[in-house]
Amino acid sequence: MSMNCKPKCWKIVPMVILGIAGLGWVVMALWNWLIPTLFAGGREIDYVQALGVLLLSKLLFGGLRGHGCHGRWHKNRLENMTPEEREKFQTGLRSCCGGKNKQEVSGNTEAHPD
């Protein structure tokens, strides 16, 4: 990550970590509640094993690169945008985490007084 990242972008990192931790706990709780009851040889798992099950399910069912149905939806949405809409969208993405927009690169910063 770049050191120019805005504070609102850094707020996302703890939320992602808390979300993964929460999902790991949910997987562990559901596993320990269901598997020993449903299967005779089923054992309870600990938290680290639950995170491993969560990662394994992501790899098997979700892939690594995010090319699921949401990825296709976003791609179709971008393709259906007009050039002006696409440029506005890309400018918004660049400005999120300290990226430079076209006006800052060209040296024209009058449009954005600080």
Domain ranges of the chain: 7-98
For residues 6 and 18, is the Cβ–Cβ distance under 8 A?
Answer: no
The per-residue pLDDT for 66 is 54
- Tokens read off for 28: 């562990």
Residues 56-75 have pLDDT tens digits of 988 888 766 655 555 566 67
pLDDT at 114: 47
Distance CA 15, CA 23 (A): 12
Within 8 A by CB and 6+ apart from 25, the residues are: 47, 50
